[in-house]
Amino acid sequence: MQHRLSNLVCSFSILTALLTAAPVSSSHSEEVIPRLNYEAVPDFFQLPSGEHFVEVAGIAVDSKGHVYVFHRGKRPLVEFDASGKFIRSIADDPFVTAHMVRVDAEDNIWTTDVGAHVVLKVSPEGRVLLSLGRMRIPGDDVLHFNQPIDVAFDRDRNIYVADGEGNSRVLKFNKYGNLLLAWGMKGSGPGQFDLPLNRNRRRSGLRGRSRERAYPDFRPEWPVSP
């Protein structure tokens, strides 16, 4: 069931990528429709009566197969079990404009909020463990974000934040939330970004001039001390 859920969660992004990358042909006979080995499950999420998703921004799955949906409705972060049954909403008050949700190796829940300008780490029990940025205060210094878009982690539990909408940069923090370094600014030159969209340990997704840039042995050109 967990494998099926992971396929369900990933199918939307994979379909989008395939359709975006597929060449457009002027002849319908030459078009190749990709075959996807995924099964659609209608009405999988069993929301409470009268509630609906509003602009779903992110979905993540934990080690138990529970699904977390981050959306822009009145209860932004909601949890479902592996069968799609509603479990609970989590920490409703801090959220302003949902953007992305991630789950780390310890099943902590991470959210990026482009309205509050913060990244939150929430325990599986629903307690806020860490807050990066300043609530509802955008900025371009090392203490502030301007519409942070995504968050990722490495094997040492360091934290990487794509501060993309306003600042076009990536910041690295240790597991305690202390800033280690930052790099990037708006532009198309070496080490510059147009709009960092997402992060993993070795790549930054971009919107604009360049879709993706990899840094296997990157040495930041703009190190920032805490």
Tell me the pLDDT tens digit for each residue of 42-94.
999 999 999 999 999 999 999 999 999 999 999 999 999 999 999 999 999 99
DSSP 32-94: -PPP------TT-SBPPTT----S--EEEE-TTS-EEEE-SSSS-EEEE-TTSBEEEE---TT
Cβ neighbour number for residue 217 with a 10 Å cutoff: 6
The per-residue pLDDT for 189 is 64
Provide the pLDDT confidence category of residue 225 given band limits of 50, 70 and 90: very low
The per-residue pLDDT for 18 is 43
Provide the pLDDT confidence category of residue 32 given band limits of 50, 70 and 90: confident
Residue 136 pLDDT exceeds 90: yes
Higher-scoring residue by pLDDT: 132, 31: 132
Percent of the chain past pLDDT 90, that is, above it, reads 59
Contact 153, 161 (CB under 8 A): no
Residue 17 pLDDT exceeds 60: no
The per-residue pLDDT for 152 is 96
Task: Please choose, from the candidates 158, 148, 46, the residue with its C-alpha nearest in 3D space to the C-alpha of residue 100.
Answer: 148
Residue 157 pLDDT exceeds 90: yes
Strand partners, 130: 121
Cα separation, 20 vs 207, whole angstroms: 13
Which strand (E) or helix (H) includes residue 109?
strand 109-113
Mean pLDDT of the chain: 81
C-alpha of 5 from chain center: 18
Tokens of 214: 């990899």
Alpha-carbon distances of 6 from 3, 21, 52, 67, rounded to whole Å: 5, 22, 22, 9
